[in-house]
Every structure is written in structure tokens, then in C-alpha cells.
Structure 1
């Protein structure tokens, strides 16, 4: 990963960029506010002075020019009087010659037309403000005018000082913010970088990788999800490895039996008919075991590829229960397991694939009989207005509570030390759950160690499906 392509750099750059834009806009606004305030203040002072002089001249027509000069000197401004013919007084002409003000700034025509004149201008590299006000006599006739010229250098210097302060404050704030943003971005991005490293280790097959969850926000939730994923992958790998070890043994065992006993029979080494019959029974049993295992593997492969085909129809559940029970009765009797079937007198129907439903029942019954010794297996069908419920209950050793959440997972087998004794590949219950759910049903399990296990399958009843098609709530 390139240094500049790290998430903390990107996050810091975005946050810093946003702060810089806000700081820049704030600086521009503050500068404009102070500039307008000081400029307006200078204009107001100049206008107030010009108005005061005009009022004094209107009230005292014989006001001395020296008094005007004293007032100008006291106020640190230049005050010029213009006569009704547009000419400056002799005193003012001397002062104007000394000041070297630009000639085009006075606009006598506007002033003599009773208009106020306001201008900012530069003279000898310095800024000045010109305020001109007309003088009217008591009859409203033009009687000349007054020009007040004040320096804007002090105001400009104040604005420059304020701008410098704004700039220095902005630079300081930017530096402080830079440090805070770097700390914050690294604090926010650090767990993400750790998550990335953990994810890469998991991708390499290090499923034991775990990260401590130290926060309760979205990142903490993400870390928890990564840990859960690693745990699930680790458990999947362990069960898969165990499955391959077990399935290789399970396939090899019946094949070895079939090959050995078939070889013995073909060579005529067993002459006693009872022994031959026992040998053929063993061959039949191992063949059945092998077929069940191959069928389960084939079904699992089709389910993983999404190629399971269903041919739904109205399945008579009473008859299906009796048929399935009859198929496993011989095996149950051989283990001295009592097999009991209970269902309503009236035939119950569900909309499903009859062959798949028989496969579900056979898997559950085989499983129950395998783990039950001199006990009872009960196959029960009950019905209601909305549901048809099927239960397979055994009196076997039961399933530990911590194993229940995993029994429907592929390759998972309870009592792994005794799994080969009971046979099976660990696929049957996973296939049952998948087949039930794909046909619109649900499956659950209740079990207590020492009290046996009950598998419960629920499908919508015929009445419920009929109401659903009619739109009845």
C-alpha cells in the first residue's frame, strides 16, 4: 500500500481541507466586517465634521477664515471653502498648492448643483477621504460649499493590523488543528488498519486470529463480526477436515467388507448355509450403508449448486408415516427399539414433494434408531387450522445444550468419539433442514441429556394454503 493511499492520510486530508475552507471563509467574513466598520466610521466622522462646518457657516455668515483653519488644524483635517462661482478662497489655494491633491477629485459642478460629493483617493502614495457638502442660504440659494479632506492612513493601518492578526490566528489555529486532525484520524483509522491486517491473516487461513473488542460503536461491531467470521471459518475448516477423515473411513469400511466377503463367497470358502446367509446379510447391510452415504453426498452437492428439483403435490401424511415406519421397522426390531406411529384418523395433506418428504422422514428415523438402545422411537402427526406438525421423538442419550445450535450444520456430528460406532456422515440433519425449508416448512429440535430428543417439522396445512390463495386473512 502506498504511503499516501492510507485511510488515515485520506481522512486527515479531508478533515483538514474542510477546516481550511471554513477558516478561509471565516477570515474573509471577519475582514469584510472590520473593513466596512472602520471605513463607515471614517466616512461618518468626515460627514459629521462637514455638516458641522456648513451649519456654522449658515448661522454665522461672517465666520472668519482663521476660525475654519483652527478647526481644521484641531481636527487634523483639511477644510476648504468654495465660493458660489466655483473658485477656492485665496487661503485655500495656497494650501492646495502645498498638498498636491489631484485636480479631478473636487467635482465642483456636482457640489454647486446641491449634490454631496464623497470620494476616496490617493495622493503621494497615501489614502484620503473627500467629503463635500453644499452651503445654502436661508432662501435655499447656493452660497458655495465645504470640502473636508481627512487621511485614511490610520484607518488603513488598523485594517492591515486586523488582517495580520486574522492571518496569524488562522495559521495558529491551522497548526493546532493539523495536530488534532492527525491524532484523531490515526485514532479513527487505527482499528480499521488492524481489521485489515486481521482480515488478511484470515484470508491466508489463520482462522485463529482474533481482535479485542474495546469499543461499543460501529467499529466495535465490525470487529465482533470479523471475530465471528473467523470462528465460523475455523469451525467449518475443522468440521470439514473431520468430515473428510470420517468419510474416507466410512467409505473404506463398507467397501472393504464388500470386497472381502464377496471374495470369500466367490472362492467358495464358506460352505455352511447359515454362515453364507450371515455373510450375505453383512454384504447387504454394508451396501445399504454405502448407498445412503453416496445419496447424502449427492444431495449435498446438488443443494450447494442450487440444482435441487421439487415436484410438489398433495402428500398424504398418514400414509407416508406408515410407509416410512414400515421401512425401518426391521432395523428397529433388531435393536429391540419400540417403534410407535400416531396420527389422526382423518388423512392429513401438505403441499410438498412426496419423495423428498420420505427422504426427510427416513433420515430422522434412521438417526433416532441409531442413537436409541432398547428404548422407543415415536413418530407423531398432529394438525390444526393453520399447521401440520410432525414429530420424531426418541429415548436416546440426548444432545448437550451447547451442541444444539450446530447439529444442522454440514459435517457436524454429536459424540464424535462414538460417531463411527453409530455410522452416518454428519450430513443427514443438514439435508433435512435444507429440504424442509426449501419446501416452505420449519424444523426445530428439543433435547435434554438423558431424556432423549424430539425433532419437530411444521408445514402449512391445506386449509391455510387455501385461505392464502383466496386472500383470506
Structure 2
């Protein structure tokens, strides 16, 4: 069953239950009101008759009733009966008010026995309301049948239920309209999700809606945009990877075939073998870096975070990069801003973060002229590590794509080093950025959250 039908059915059932409960409650409220009002009116009438009736003038009973008839009654049909101390109806003291005799105050059949009449006079018959007032002659009993009250209550209840049902129908019709308006964006969203299922990410539109549905629609649209971007990046990655792998494989295959066929001999064969070994190492490094990137993107357990001091990370980076610095006759300066910055801790995978720092520093070494400066400072709740070189800087057109895969500048290596650094830094909860320093060289900044 469609959602719109489920909602309408549920609302209709709820409305029916509410109307039924309302009708039952109103029935009892009206009955209680009419019974209470009639009792009050009968009591007022009884008091008026009690004052009017003369103990010495039995013949004055009809006129006394008439004199008391000015008391307003919520329900007509009240009979007055005067009985002696033994409960016998006194001759000449039996009358009716509003033209209803006691003998006719019966809901079903007629009163045929003295016992039945006595039960009414004693107030033991639930089909009648009775009010008793004391008189010198005995007691004055006012009687009215419940059937008349029920008839009035039923007539009023029927009218009220008609109005209530009409209002319920209007409310249900309005609910159908509102439900349709609410469900319509969901149906459109369903269509957009089908596009996501069929990988048509670029064709997913943003559904305009309010409230939670609008938030879900916006999330679906953002998801489609991100999936489209990721899909394009993956396609580009595969294309670039195949190209990068093909180049060393062609060199290896070409020199191996030349040596096999005797094209290269002596010194030529030796150089060919050196190229094969060099390209094999480059190919192995490329595959290793690609594998690491894939794991960083997809595997959660590859990252083992632990607290580590900033000084420890920087010191180990310098020790690892020192042979390369000596080979190129370069200097590396470290500047800690603040007394306590060395002891500041960050939560990261030590080995992975060390690799990210080595990638950035080795990249600086390749492009620097003579010196690399590393500056460590604290910014709010973050630790900032800046690596600056005195080289020619980064081309402005290259900066936005510098950390993308297989993007290489002048004298670049595999084009994956900085991409790996970005992936590691982001897994640590940090941010990496690049730009040109005021002195002209390149500067790469890594911001990592400080451990509490």
C-alpha cells in the first residue's frame, strides 16, 4: 500500500475513534446536565408547592399547583402526588402538573400494581426522577419520567453529531489535500534516488521542500554531488594510474627484449639493466603508494591513533631526511614558537604522520636552493607545522590541484606524495594547505588538533 493511502487510512481511523469517543462523552455530559437541571427545577417547584398548599383547604390543591406553575422547567411532564404518613395517596390531593397524571408516567406499559407505584413514590424506580417535600398532610412527591429527558438529550445529541460529522468530513478532506502536498516531495525524492541507484549522479536535482523532508532532499542532493565528484576522480585516477604504470613497464619490457635479442651488448646491456632496475624500483614505489592511498580511503583499522608530542615528530622527521639534506648540501632550520610548544601533544598514527611529514619535507628539498625552514606554533586548539623552502615557489595555476593524485610540478616524483600527505592529515582530523611565501618560495602548512 502506498504511503499516502496508509497515512489517509490511519488519519481516518483516528478521526473515527475521536468522533466516537466525543459522542459518548457528550452523551453522558448532556444526560448528567439535563438530569441535574431537572432535579433542581423539581426541587424549586416542590418548595413553591409546599408553601402554596394549605393544610386546611384540600380543594385548593389544583389552584396551588397553578400558582406554582410559574417555576421554569427544563423538561415538561411533572406530576404532583400527596400521600399520608403510611404512603397512601390522599383523595383530592392527587393532581398533575403540565397535564400528566401519575398513572400515565410509565415508559413501558402501565403501572398495574401498588408495589410499582410505591417504588416510584419512594424513588426506587430508576426510570423516574422523584423529588419529595414534607407537608402537614404527609409528603409531596413530584415525579417525571427519564424517557422525556432522554428524548430531549437524544434529539440534541443527534444534531450535535451531525455537525460533528460534517466538521470531521471537512477535516478529513483537508487532510487529504495536506497529505498529498506533503507526500509529493517524497515521491519526487524517490525519483531522484532512483537516479542515484542507476549512477546518474549529475542528473540528480534538488527537491524544494520544507522541514525534515527538505533536509533529507538537500542531503540526497549533496550526496549525489559528492558521488559524482568521487566518480570522476576515480575515473581520472584509473586513467592516470594506467598511464603512470604503463611508462615504466614499457621501458622495462623494451630494454629486456633488446638485451634478449642482442640489440644491447656490453656497456649498452649494462645501462639497460640499470634502467630496468630503476624503473622497477619506481614501479614498485608507485604501486606501494597507490595501495596506501586506497587503504587510507577505505580501511578504518589501518589507522592507529595515539598521543605523540610535536617535538618527537619533528625530530624524527629531521633524522630521516638528514641523508638527503647532506647529499644536496642543504640546511634545515626548526623554529618552535612558544616555550611549551615542544611538549604539546597531538593524537595521530605516528608512523603515518611521519610519512606525511617526510613527503612534504622531501618535496621541499627537491625544490629548495639551499635552506628549508620548519616552524611549529600553536593556534587556538590547533598545532601548526609550516614547511617553507627558498625555491621558485608553486605556479598559481597548480596550487588548487597540488594535493590531487598524479598532479606533479617541475621536478616532481610520482605525483602521489602530497596526495598521501593530505589523506593522512585529514585522517588525523587536520587540514593541509599550500601557497607561496613572501620570500618567493613554497610554503606548506599542516594544522592538527591539539590533544586535551
Note closer, same or farther for the CA distance 1:383–1:236 as it changes in structure 2 (3 Å cut). Answer: closer
Taking the aligned partners of 1:361 and 1:66, their CA distance within structure 2 comes to 117
Q: Secondary structure at the match of 2:203?
A: coil
Note closer, same or farther for the CA distance 1:194–1:325 as it changes in structure 2 (3 Å cut). Answer: farther
Give the conservation status (yes or no) of the 8 Å contact 1:119–1:131.
Answer: no
Matched, 1:396 2:406: no
Q: Equivalent residue for 1:79?
A: 80
Q: CA deviation at 1:255?
A: 0.8
Q: Equivalent residue for 1:455?
A: 444
Note closer, same or farther for the CA distance 1:378–1:220 as it changes in structure 2 (3 Å cut). Answer: farther
Matched, 1:9 2:5: yes
Give the conservation status (yes or no) of the 8 Å contact 2:58–2:93.
Answer: no
Give the conservation status (yes or no) of the 8 Å contact 1:134–1:145.
Answer: yes
Which of 146, 164, 167 is residue 173 of structure 1 equivalent to? 167
Matched residue count: 420
Q: Secondary structure at the match of 2:134?
A: strand
Q: Equivalent residue for 1:202?
A: 196
Q: CA deviation at 1:384?
A: 4.9
- The residue correspondences of 1:216-227 to structure 2 (distance < 5 A) are 216-227=210-221
Note closer, same or farther for the CA distance 1:10–1:175 as it changes in structure 2 (3 Å cut). Answer: same
- The residue correspondences of 1:145-160 to structure 2 (distance < 5 A) are 145-150=139-144, 154-160=148-154
Q: CA deviation at 1:247?
A: 1.2
Note closer, same or farther for the CA distance 1:383–1:243 as it changes in structure 2 (3 Å cut). Answer: closer
Give the conservation status (yes or no) of the 8 Å contact 2:388–2:437.
Answer: no
Note closer, same or farther for the CA distance 1:72–1:46 as it changes in structure 2 (3 Å cut). Answer: farther
Structure 1: unaligned runs, 5 residues or longer: 112-116, 123-127, 137-142, 469-473
Q: CA deviation at 1:340?
A: 5.8
Structure 2: unaligned runs, 5 residues or longer: 71-76, 96-100, 337-341
Q: Equivalent residue for 2:115?
A: 104
Give the conservation status (yes or no) of the 8 Å contact 1:363–1:428.
Answer: yes
Taking the aligned partners of 2:23 and 2:398, their CA distance within structure 1 comes to 70
Deviations 1:250-308 (A, max 9, x none): 112101101212332454434684x6676556445423321221111232344333453
Q: Equivalent residue for 1:114?
A: none
Taking the aligned partners of 1:384 and 1:98, their CA distance within structure 2 comes to 106
Taking the aligned partners of 1:83 and 1:320, their CA distance within structure 2 comes to 120
The alignment yields a C-alpha RMSD, in angstroms, of 4.4
Give the conservation status (yes or no) of the 8 Å contact 2:331–2:372.
Answer: yes
TM-score (norm 2): 0.74
TM-score (norm 1): 0.71
Q: CA deviation at 1:437?
A: 5.5
Taking the aligned partners of 2:144 and 2:205, their CA distance within structure 1 comes to 74
Note closer, same or farther for the CA distance 1:189–1:369 as it changes in structure 2 (3 Å cut). Answer: farther
Q: Equivalent residue for 1:243?
A: 237
Q: Secondary structure at the match of 1:101?
A: coil
Deviations 1:65-118 (A, max 9, x none): 56358639968643222234432234468966677435335448x98xxxxx54
Q: Equivalent residue for 1:432?
A: 421
Which of 176, 182, 189 is residue 188 of structure 1 equivalent to? 182
Matched, 1:291 2:279: no
